[in-house]
Amino acid sequence: MSAVVTSTPEPAGLIAALDIGGTKIAGALVDRQGTVLHRVQRLTPAQEPGEAVLLTIHQVLGRLSAVPRWQQVRALGIGCAGPVDIARGTVSPVNIPGWRDFPLVARVAADPAVAGLPVVLGGDGVAMAAGERWRGAARDAVSALCLVVSTGVGAGLVLDGAVHPGPSGNAGHLGHLSVDLDGEPCPCGSRGCLEMLASGTAIARQALRSGWQPAARGGAADAAAVAESARQGDSLALAAYDRAARALAAGIAATATLLDLRLAVVGGGVAQAGELLLAPLRRHLHTYAALPYVHPVEVRRTGLGPDAGLIGAAALTVS
Ligand SMILES: [Zn+2]
């Protein structure tokens, strides 16, 4: 047994992470290997005033900072639904209307538990890219597009071996790239945005419009319920997933063609449907990623599991 240490020791201490989305707000303590040690989660009061959303974050931080190992925390990473402005430390998530140019970094830094810690903000898509690059499915990739398909659709880029947030922190914000010129108006102000076709919300909306009926027993009409019907062979539910996959394929192909990418990593709640989403996505990529240098674009599932958002938020502080 050799006692020679050949690798550089990692910095000590834990990282606190906040993953803020339109449906839930999660917080965690994460170690330097990217393992989530403690996690806390609350529903996002997304339709309430901005201060109510902030109160939920203080509650999450209150629970986390009550854990004795909080004393080992050396930094806080925040992955937030976009758009964000990392230069100013503000956020304006499309799905949280009470937050417009909301000074999230300053307000979180003022929490007594956080005082003195460095706080790093990133868009949720950029955070996911940081996490996949750090400990996930893009670990060996020079370049990749990493997507969060959830209540909305976010994405981030790894380019030439590094996460590329762009000056404002929104680079790769694929959800608001239009893939349908005459499509439905989007809350962002554009129309036909990828998010309007491929988010979990859009999948459920499309299924209901086509006449799909939720399973009688539960009655939930969300993307997970559509997935359950699709697994049982319901053609309307399958069509809703296929439409979402097709929109994602168009967006991934456009990005891959633009930036010369070979890899897309897909995570987020909707991606938990697994092959139900990924199989049609790969099939449609054969159509849309037509040029030889992007054909085929490889599609991988997130390597970080359901905690990808938290691990990504933590990764923002180490990249
Ligand atoms: Zn939009």
Looking at the structure, tell me whether residues 151 and 294 fall in a common domain.
Answer: yes
% of the chain beyond a pLDDT of 90: 84
The whole-angstrom separation of Cα 305 and Cα 71 is 27
Tell me what pLDDT residue 152 has: 86
- Taking each helix axis from N to C end, the angle separating 200-209 and 223-231, rounded to the nearest 10 degrees, works out to 60
Q: Classify 18 in phi/psi space as left (phi over 0), alpha (psi -120 to 50) or beta.
A: beta
Cα-to-centroid distance, 153 and ligand 1 (Å): 10
User: What region, left, alpha or beta, does residue 310 occupy, with left being phi > 0 and alpha being psi -120 to 50 degrees?
Assistant: alpha
Query: For residue 177, is it within any domain?
Result: yes
Name the CA radius of gyration of the chain, rounded: 19
Q: How many domains does the chain have?
A: 2
Helix, coil or strand: residue 229: helix
Total-model pTM = 0.88
Distance CA 142, CA 64 (A): 35
Position with higher pLDDT, 306 vs 292: 292
**pLDDT at position 1, please?**
41
Answer yes or no: are the C-beta atoms of 80 and 101 closer than 8 Å. Answer: no
Q: 29: which DSSP letter?
A: E
Q: Separation of 134 CA from ligand 1 center, angstroms?
A: 29
How far does residue 207's CA lie from ligand 1's centre (Å)? 20
Per-residue model confidence as pLDDT tens digits over 14-54: 999 999 998 899 999 999 999 999 999 999 999 999 999 99
- The answer to the question of residue 6 being in a domain is no
CA–centroid distance, residue 65 to ligand 1 (Å): 36
How many angstroms is it from 192 CA to the middle of ligand 1? 7
pLDDT of residue 95: 85
Task: Tell me how far the alpha carbon of residue 79 lies from the centroid of ligand 1, in angstroms.
Answer: 19
Residue 105 lies in a domain: yes
Does 273 lie in the same domain as 215?
yes
| Separation of alpha carbons 62 and 77, rounded Å | 16
Report pLDDT digits (tens) over 153-186.
999 999 999 999 999 999 998 999 999 999 999 9
CATH classification of the domain holding 82: 3.30.420.40
Q: How far is the CA of 216 from the centre of ligand 1 (A)?
A: 33
Q: Give the pLDDT score at 2.
A: 42
- Give 191's DSSP letter: B
pLDDT at 279: 97
Q: What is the mean pLDDT of the chain?
A: 93
Structural domain boundaries, residue 243: 139-302
pLDDT at 82: 85
Q: How far is the CA of 117 from the centre of ligand 1 (A)?
A: 34
- pLDDT tens digits along 201-228: 999 999 999 999 987 556 789 999 999 9
